[in-house]
Structure 1
């Protein structure tokens, strides 16, 4: 690869990351003090209930049909709390040439694919370390032992519901100054209920990326697309990678 080509690639990547994760799209989502307090209260109650349901769902044995009901219930908690908290916005992203804005779909697909590639590279290491690999395989057993089609639906439904709450209701309820940090930490802590260290690390990294997306776009569409691209890719690609390399 020539020096000019390398420079063009670096320049394109720099522009991409600035547009997706750094420079906010102008908007005005100001709400009244009363609406803000109500959003915070609903978000706090939803967080407590959701954490309990999540801890229960992730400790159900693979193959137990209770798992499906529990995870759908969890999605209902996140989504219900998000919609009850107040208005949610789809948001807009910068166009490639910087001359306007559009819905954050194509950029989010690219960002989700990059995250997936990063995690697949990490899986090569994880597969060779039993103490890291085995808890992840136990979680993936829900797809192996149960219905993969149903687990796929659950992955989509819960991915959307999580973004509605964490990057929708909770992000808006925290306030502008610390929303990225607070929502990322809370998301990781809630995921810690599963008792899987690598899942907490994944939640922290993915949560940080989609929180920056939320900051830039002002809405939940970009985070939803990025989250689903990553989570569905992990669902289908991670098991064969771990099986082949372990």
Structure 2
């Protein structure tokens, strides 16, 4: 009897990508036309308020206590808008034994992979002054303020953003290109911050979490990926920039 073939790393990677980002888990999330229209109105109002509040928060001088209050307000806006828009689903993921489970392990893996890509990118960014400057300004909030408090607010905003962008807004967009539309809108909300790398990060993170939302049908997977990436960037990005200084002088 011939032994069963052991999947190689390429096959494993292909299966992982398909399960986590390509093949949707079956579900039925139908809602009435009235509920859908209401969701769209709430999502639109929340988008305007949240984008303005985010731009204001990230332009506050590092070390100013007002920054903490402003970022908390941003999180409240995204969360309240998402919850008020309608039902939010947790979501399910495919497993190796053809069952479904909560999307925890896949999401952690995607978050770490995205984090590694951006940390490698930070080495290049650190050598380009016009990209490095805005990033340093953003990190100054952690350098000159309370790192534990900044980390807590980063986590709260990560959860809130996913509740809104991959929860309320995603459902409000409808069935025509929700991943592309929510990703672009998510990136546009960061333009007002004046940080080019943040806009690029929003595009990459928005695409990955949007695909997760399409596959899992819920917000848990996107939340886990977002938190893994954002907290990792907060804590490790300064080391990536320091490494860039050592390499490029």
TM bucket (normalised to shorter chain) is over 0.9
Deviation at 1:33, TM superposition (A): 0.1
Corresponding position of 2:87: 87
Corresponding position of 1:121: 120
RMSD: 1.1
**How many angstroms apart in 2 are the aligned matches of 1:138 and 1:218?**
36
Q: How does 1:1-246 map to 2 (within 5 A)?
A: 8-97=8-97, 99-246=98-245
SS of residue matched to 1:89: coil
Deviation at 1:130, TM superposition (A): 1.3
TM-score normalised to structure 2 length: 0.95
Deviation at 1:128, TM superposition (A): 1.2
SS of residue matched to 1:198: helix
Q: Runs of at least 4 residues of structure 1 off by over 3 A?
A: none
Deviation at 1:240, TM superposition (A): 1.9
**How many angstroms apart in 2 are the aligned matches of 1:187 and 1:201?**
11
SS of residue matched to 1:63: coil
Q: Unaligned regions of 5+ residues in structure 1, if any?
A: none
Deviation at 1:177, TM superposition (A): 1.8
TM-score normalised to structure 1 length: 0.96
Aligned length: 241
* CA displacement, residues 29-87 of structure 1 (integer Å, 9 cap, x when unaligned): 00000000000000000001011101110100000000000000000000000000001
**How many angstroms apart in 2 are the aligned matches of 1:229 and 1:175?**
28
Deviation at 1:124, TM superposition (A): 1.1
**How many angstroms apart in 2 are the aligned matches of 1:172 and 1:141?**
36
Q: Unaligned regions of 5+ residues in structure 2, if any?
A: none
**How many angstroms apart in 2 are the aligned matches of 1:239 and 1:194?**
19
Deviation at 1:129, TM superposition (A): 1.3
Deviation at 1:241, TM superposition (A): 1.8
SS of residue matched to 1:64: coil
SS of residue matched to 1:62: coil
**How many angstroms apart in 1 are the aligned matches of 2:147 and 2:232?**
13
Deviation at 1:245, TM superposition (A): 2.2
C-alpha contact 2:123 2:243 (8 A) present in aligned 1: no
